[in-house]
Amino acid sequence: MTTVKQLILFILMTIILVAMGAGGCDDGNATRFPGENGAGDSDSDSDSDSDSDSDSDSDSDSDSDSDSDGDSNGYTSAIGEYDGYVGDHGRLRTDGYKIVDGNGDVIQLKGMSLFWPLWGGEEYFNKSVVEYVADDWKTTLIRAPLGVENNNQDAGYIHQSSSDREKMIGWVEDVVDGAIDAGIYVIIDWHDHWANEHKSEAIDFFERMGKKYGDYPHVIWEVWNEPEYGVQWSTIKSYADEVVEVIRKHSPNLIVVGTPEYSYTTHKAKDDPIDDFNVAYTHHFYVDNDSHTLKGSQAYIQSMIDGNLPVFVTEWGFEVSKLSGNKAYEDGGIFSITPVDDNVVGPWIDWMEENNLSWAFWSLSSQTEPGAALKADASTTGGWSDDDLWPAGIYIKEQF
């Protein structure tokens, strides 16, 4: 009998244990093993975290980051969040060698660069000018260069007192605010040839600008205008890595990094690119510059395309007076007193168009240099007729 009782007791205990294993007494603390409940976690989805979606993070999308839009690094398209052209196209980003808008469509921006402030360019750093070129010229881009230092002159932002630095930053902010109001894109440009020697100032500047404008999809960050001849890509990259990290604390927006030899030999960045999800590389050229040829630019940019790296022409212009048949810097320094030769300039514009290269023309100013768009007596608030423009200004206005 004892054996029978032991057998019955064993059967009863087995039934109880089976019932408990089916979940009837599970208090949520039972040991789980890989394969139980989908992926070894204690929730009701199929991943290994403690949320209710099917990925491994804590948000509500299907990717592995911590935002809710399906992209990394806090990027959102920003489509329709603002008025104007930016409202239609949203936040820019890179897609391989392409620059695309918030819809994922390839985009080409065309606009004007202002001139060095403190060297006379500041008179056009205002909202009225930005709104005028956006509305009347139909530009989609304006570039605001903070003149840091020019050819080691004892001038520029880094040589100014604290109060004068504030004034210069105020000029840049006026342009940025004007672009936001006008609904166009704006480049905040650290306009320097020796930025690696002014890294702490650049970091402070982009920290400040990032806090103020980092969320606006209008803003494009240009961290080093034109590295001086002799500055190697390794030096540029080392500087850019630190500045990009500062910007990324505040903004997922497109960042443009300068390249060797005044940003002409862009291809030298190809073999060791910046490790960031939304960076493009600068290309600058000046038509009729003895060192700049269309074939050279084409080869350098094709090399970048082959490397799946995007390029942005944040500055281009006219170098000397051969375009109009006059000697350089005659007649007050303005070469373009006769119409611009489209046979010379046109192929460069066509090439940028064919490759969807966004560009800013140098410069929206009344300076005595070949590419100045405005005559000396032109209004500093816009409203210009063709009589207020040099032929360079008339020609470039027709390209928008």
Catalytic amino acids? 226, 315
Please give the structure tokens belonging to residue 399: 């390209």
Residue given tokens 């056009």 in the structure block: 124
Angstrom distance (rounded) from CA 388 to CA 345:
22
Q: For residue 143, give the amino acid letter.
A: R
Q: For residue 48, give the amino acid letter.
A: S
Residue 198: helix, strand or coil by DSSP? Answer: helix
Distance of CA 179 to the CA centre of its chain: 15
- Helices 162-182 and 199-213, interaxial angle, to 10°? 40
Angstrom distance (rounded) from CA 228 to CA 192:
9
**Cα within 13 Å of Cα(244), Cβ side:** 22
Its sign, for the CA torsion 110, 116, 121, 124, is: positive
Residues 6+ apart with CB under 8 A from 230: none
Are 312 and 256 within 8 A, CB to CB? yes
Residues 6+ apart with CB under 8 A from 272: 233, 234, 237
Residue 219 CB neighbours (<10 A): 26
Angstrom distance (rounded) from CA 133 to CA 128:
9
Q: For residue 182, give the amino acid letter.
A: A
